[in-house]
Amino acid sequence: MLAHRVAAQGLHGVASVGELDVLTLGLQDSPPGSAGLGLRQRIAHGAPDQPDLVLAMTVRGSPHLHRRADLPLLRAALRPGDNEMLRAFLGGYGDELIASGADGPALLETVARRLREVFPGGTVTKGELSGAVSPSLPEVARPWCPGCGTAHVAEGLFRLGTLYAGIELEPGGGRRQRFRLGPPPADPGDGDAALVELLRSYALLAGPVTLGDLLVWLDTRSVTAPPAWLKPAFDVLGDELVPVRVAGADGTVFAHAETVATVSGAPDPPPALLLPARDALVLGHRSFLVPERSAAKAVWRAVGSPGVVVVAGEVSGVWRARQSGRTLRLTVDAHRDLTAGERAAVERQAGVVAQARGHSGRTEVVWDG
């Protein structure tokens, strides 16, 4: 299953982004630059300029790298049909919106329309765009923010609104995000069918899965009960899923029938990969990917997750990078004893990280423990 996932996500290297189906799910760009490393690990011969790629606020309102052709599906699948679905994307503010009695989907449409209408042109910071749109929005959409000392558009509404306004993130903007105006988005179409299609892609690329795994991927809150808006799409997909037991997974999980039919033919994974934090390879059922709880806590942190060390398809440690002068230093913490050959393969990967960062100086690997 691990080897199949590596191959399905293009981690043997593909010729073009058109072949990289994992971009339907997106490569998360948190922290900034993560998606660039994830892409470089998947595109053969490096990652040259790819004009049909776009960085946008999509799943959970987080910045993800997609093919531009994937955006209509994402807009349709993530478009809230009611307040309950919208609440999943709004974090704590969702409860305030529900209590207000406002029509959440209509409010989102207003935010998206106004974002596009007031866009100042060129590229703008988040603060500049929020400042331009907030005064024209209903009060319920711009709650008081103690940290900023002002009332401005709610964070979740802003993030999701940019997706429906056709507003993109400027690549290479670093931690100070800059936005630009993309092409006007078309009518997203049938949301129910699109959500099923998105979940199908997830099952094929990040399986085996449970309904709870999908909830972790899509919902900004920490909730345990499957929401009413997600279960119908999962049930429709259910005819294509097969219950399986996989080493490491908690109980029965579900794999797509297409995966079950082809899993035994997957090629051996690369000897080692250094992938960014929250890479698509570590989506899905966490106990399957990292059975040891202490190791899992190191991989998935609430804030500031590290990059992951993948050896022969298995998540085998974490890494962080820090630049000091002309030296890029990668600190690697392995979760198990690695052989000399495995360590050498990991150390060779440091050059890939340096290339993705545009670093031309010295690179070194420090083993932590």
Confidence at residue 29, expressed as pLDDT on a 0 to 100 scale: 95
* Residue 261 lies inside a defined structural domain of this protein: yes
- Cα–Cα distance for residue pair 92/158, rounded to 1 Å: 14
Verify that 47 and 144 share a domain, yes or no: yes
Confidence at residue 173, expressed as pLDDT on a 0 to 100 scale: 65
Contact 84, 105 (CB under 8 A): no
Confidence at residue 187, expressed as pLDDT on a 0 to 100 scale: 83
Domain count within the chain: 3
Verify that 38 and 133 share a domain, yes or no: yes
Percentage with pLDDT > 90 across the chain: 72
Verify that 309 and 241 share a domain, yes or no: no
Verify that 250 and 299 share a domain, yes or no: no
Verify that 286 and 255 share a domain, yes or no: no
What is the rounded average pLDDT for all residues in the chain? 91
Verify that 36 and 166 share a domain, yes or no: yes
* Residue 189 lies inside a defined structural domain of this protein: no
Percentage with pLDDT > 70 across the chain: 97
* Residue 291 lies inside a defined structural domain of this protein: yes
My answer on whether omega of the bond before 208 falls inside 30° of 0, hence cis, is: yes
Contact 185, 75 (CB under 8 A): yes
* Residue 188 lies inside a defined structural domain of this protein: no
Domain that holds residue 235: 195-265
* Residue 137 lies inside a defined structural domain of this protein: yes
**Res 257 pLDDT > 70:** yes
Confidence at residue 312, expressed as pLDDT on a 0 to 100 scale: 96
* Residue 337 lies inside a defined structural domain of this protein: yes
User: Angle, to 10 degrees, between the axis of helix 93-100 and the axis of helix 104-118?
Assistant: 110
For residue range 306-332, what is the model confidence (pLDDT) as tens digits?
A: 999 999 999 999 999 998 889 999 999
Q: Measure CA of the first residue to CA of the last residue in the chain; give whole Å.
A: 29
Verify that 154 and 12 share a domain, yes or no: yes
**Which of 220, 241, 265 lies at the terminal end of a domain, its last residue?**
265
For residue range 120-134, what is the model confidence (pLDDT) as tens digits?
A: 989 999 999 999 999
**Which of 215, 250, 265 lies at the terminal end of a domain, its last residue?**
265
**Res 149 pLDDT > 90:** no
**Which of 227, 242, 265 lies at the terminal end of a domain, its last residue?**
265
For residue range 329-363, what is the model confidence (pLDDT) as tens digits?
A: 999 999 999 999 999 999 999 999 999 998 988 99
* Residue 297 lies inside a defined structural domain of this protein: yes
Verify that 172 and 53 share a domain, yes or no: yes
Verify that 171 and 201 share a domain, yes or no: no
Contact 210, 245 (CB under 8 A): no
**Res 188 pLDDT > 90:** no
Verify that 103 and 206 share a domain, yes or no: no
Residue 190's pLDDT band (boundaries 50, 70, 90)? Answer: confident
- Scanning the structure block, which residue is given the tokens 């398809």? 313
Output helix, strand, coil percentages for the chain, rounded to the nearest 5: 45, 20, 35
The Cβ-side half-sphere exposure at 15, using a 13 Å CA radius, reads 0
Q: What is the pTM of this model?
A: 0.94
- Cα–Cα distance for residue pair 327/324, rounded to 1 Å: 5
Among the residue ranges 51-65, 114-128, 144-158, the one predicted with the least confidence is 144-158
- Scanning the structure block, which residue is given the tokens 């423990």? 369
Confidence at residue 17, expressed as pLDDT on a 0 to 100 scale: 85
Residue 49's pLDDT band (boundaries 50, 70, 90)? Answer: low
Average pLDDT of span 234-246? 93
Verify that 62 and 40 share a domain, yes or no: yes
* Residue 190 lies inside a defined structural domain of this protein: no
Give the residue, 365 or 14, on which the prediction is more confident.
365
In sequence order, the 6+-apart residues with CB closer than 8 A to the CB of 339 are none
In sequence order, the 6+-apart residues with CB closer than 8 A to the CB of 106 are none
Confidence at residue 46, expressed as pLDDT on a 0 to 100 scale: 53
Verify that 177 and 206 share a domain, yes or no: no
